[in-house]
Every structure is written in structure tokens, then in C-alpha cells.
Structure 1
């Protein structure tokens, strides 16, 4: 993927053999386990830690909200160490640091699937909806963060259904698209069929993940 400066130690280590479709199917199966038989999600962390001291070979990158109720490793079936490459921030935004993280996962670690995971009742998206509806101003660095989500909220004004839920889904879709349009490395990998980027929505009530 043209990353000539990739760290040699990471680039030379074993990578996942899963395709993007395989990875997506594994996430779907894991989420089914999480919602239907959560007792099966216990991980053998000690054994895994010993096996992964010299390398990692994650098979999916998850960009999710920082919300404490949305831990990707748990809601995708109690996945253990070394399986998911995770980036989190309020509102699951594709800022510069996050894009660099995603590119590292794809270009260096060989991750075939990138998932942007929005969730029910997202506070950051709710704040953007409040900006649209009430012109609310938020202090500090929260303001610019929320402003980045406002276009997604404005795009769904008047759409049938719940305003916040529609905005969450729209924001996830827009972030997924932004990853491809802003990152040449990811765009090249997508064009070559090496990487797939999808948006998803997590329901706090049911625990289910819907891929959009």
C-alpha cells in the first residue's frame, strides 16, 4: 500500500488470513453470542497475553464512540487480546490521529475490515442535534468536536423517525465515507479489494449491532 516507512518489526510479523467478509461474519456471530449467550464471552486473557508479547494480528479495526457503554471487544462476543484494533473518540470522528491509526492498522498490520460504530443515544451526536435545534454553544474543545457532527444532524432534519437516531446513523455513514475519501492509503486498499469499510449501529437496549 505504499507505506515505505512502515516499522519493519510490525510489517514482518504474521498477519490475519481473514478476508473482510470473513471478519464481518465473525463480528456478526460474536455480537449474536453477546446478546444471546453472554456467559460464553469469557476470555482466556492470561494465555492470550503470553502468546502475543511479540506481535499482533488483528482482523478488524473498530472506530467507535468513547461512550463507556460501548466496549467493542465485549459487544462483539467477548473477543480477546490481539483480535480488534480499536480507535475511540466522542462521536466516532475521523480526525487526523484517528485516520493515522486506521491507516496503520490497514497498511502495517494488514487489517481487512474497518467498522465505524455509532450507537443509540450518543451524547456527542445529541449535542450536535441541540446545536441544530437550539443553536446551543459548547465550551472548550467540546465545541469544535460537536461542530464536526452538525452536518450529519442537519442532513436528517425533517426525515421520518427519531431525529437523534437518524443523526447517529448518518454520522456513522459519513465517517465511513470520510475514511475512504480522506485517506489515500485506505482508498487504494479498498479499490484493490484488500480492505472494506462499513458503518454500523449499536442498540443499547438489545445489545445488537446493525450493519448499515
Structure 2
């Protein structure tokens, strides 16, 4: 057992070092910063069994962003804590929930928010649709988290190589309708297509434009806008890179 564990740990440490060199976190923790920011590289992770507890949960958007950034760094460097999964936490959640962020993400199986942000039970309220497309059910779900549970942060999380965006771009080029309800998704994404770019660059630019459009629409919802104006809520856009597992802000 030990003879196999040693080389495996060495491989994982080497990969983690390469990940840090490829793409460190940029920007400050402040909401005005260009990127999500993480804890210093020297910060040691807490034991996996240690629950965060309700009292230690972020209560402001800035604190929530800092926690998500720190969790993403742990994910990228194979130092996951898997917080808030203990028997005690599970039992406490039978009495209620106090998530600190809403994440509207894509349905893509490679981008589960709880994993890429290294969060546990009761930490995130996640809503997932292909291409982060909004409809009344999605808007109502997000509004519930913000207005009823008092969540201070909403993150619109797009990702590299989004299949929904690619389908929308290709349908726009070909003029051929997509099957069944997939056309609805393409129609929602179509206004954000960046026709100044070609090929893969068009898809990539549209991913960012779609994140911005969804974020802007959410921020413009009257009930959410009121909370933003009073400093009780922030709505931010972010993107997950499949190549290095980095989440960074899209502004």
C-alpha cells in the first residue's frame, strides 16, 4: 500500500505546482476586483471533518466571494476540505438552511458548483440550466434564495467549451432549427452571439457575452436591484476554465 501511495502523492503535488504556475488567482477580494481571490498559498486547509458551522458562514457578498475563491483554489490544487458533510452538519440541516451564495450555472457535468468551489451541504443554492438560460422558474428560484433566505451573493457561472453556446452559434450560422426544446435555448443565447469573431473565437467570446447578459438581466430585476442598491446583494459573472479549473470574474 505504501509503495503505491508515495508516487501517487508525488504526481498530485507536481500537478498542483504546475496548476499554480499556469493560472494563479488575480485581483483583490473586494467586489470591485477583476477576479475571485483566494487565501494565500501558505494557508493550511482545515481538517476535512471540521464543520464550518452557521456562525462562521459568510454574511456579506465580499465574504462569500472570498470563500468561493478559496474553495476554488483548494479544488485546483487537490486540497479539498469537503466541508459541511459531517453527521453533525447533516443533522443540523434538518432544522433549516443558511446558504451563503446562489450559483446559476450550466448543466454541464464537468462544472458542478459544489465541487469547483469545494463547498458542502447547506452552503450553496445552485440552479443549473444549459447555457445559464433564464426563464420564470429560474428567476423565481434565484429570487427565493435572495428574498426569502437573505443570500448576499448571486454568481452567474459560465464555462469554457459550453455546448449550449456552441449549438446556438452553429444554428445561427446554418439557419437550421435545433431539435425539440433545444431551439428555445439557442433563441435565448442568440442575442449575445459575438459576430465580430469567427470559428472557435466566436464561441468563446459568446460564452463571456452570455454571462454578462444574464448577470445584467438579473441585476436589473426590480427586487434584486433594490437589494443591490442598499448593499445587501451583489450579482457577479464568472467563468470556469476546464483546462486549469480556475474560476475568474467576467466583468
- TM tier, smaller: 0.7 to 0.9
| Cα displacement string for residues 133-160 of structure 1 (whole angstroms, at most 9, x for unaligned residues) | 222310111111111001111xx11148
Structure with more contact order per residue of length (Cα contacts < 8 Å, sep ≥ 6)? 1
Corresponding residue for 1:120?
160
Aligned counterpart for 1:202 among listed residues 215, 240, 243: 240
Match of 1:149, SS state, is: helix
Task: Summarize the Cα distance change of 1:111–1:31 in structure 2 as closer, same or farther, 3 Å threshold.
Answer: same
2:68 maps to 1:27: yes
Corresponding residue for 2:49?
none
| Cα displacement string for residues 152-206 of structure 1 (whole angstroms, at most 9, x for unaligned residues) | 11xx11148811111111101100111122x221111111111000001101111
Match of 1:116, SS state, is: strand
| Cα displacement string for residues 71-100 of structure 1 (whole angstroms, at most 9, x for unaligned residues) | 0000002x1101001100111112111110
In structure 2, what is the Cα distance between the partners aligned to 1:184 and 1:83? Answer: 26
Match of 1:70, SS state, is: coil
In structure 2, what is the Cα distance between the partners aligned to 1:195 and 1:166? Answer: 27
Residues 84 and 121 of structure 2 are in contact (CA less than 8 Å); yes or no, is this contact kept in structure 1?
Answer: no
Match of 1:211, SS state, is: strand
Corresponding residue for 1:3?
none
Structure 1: 5+ residue stretches without partners: 1-12
Aligned residues: 195
Task: Summarize the Cα distance change of 1:133–1:71 in structure 2 as closer, same or farther, 3 Å threshold.
Answer: same
The structure with the larger Rg is 2
2:116 maps to 1:80: no
Aligned counterpart for 2:215 among listed residues 165, 172, 176: 176
Q: For the aligned residues, what is the CA RMSD?
A: 2.0
Alignment of 1:8-87 (within 5 A): 18-36=59-77, 38-43=78-83, 45-47=85-87, 48-77=89-118, 79-87=119-127
In structure 2, what is the Cα distance between the partners aligned to 1:41 and 1:126? Answer: 34
Offset of residue 42 of structure 1: 3.0
TM-score of the aligned structures, taking structure 2 as reference length: 0.73
TM-score of the aligned structures, taking structure 1 as reference length: 0.86
In structure 2, what is the Cα distance between the partners aligned to 1:108 and 1:90? Answer: 25
Match of 1:63, SS state, is: strand
Corresponding residue for 1:189?
227
Offset of residue 59 of structure 1: 0.5
Structure 2: 5+ residue stretches without partners: 1-53
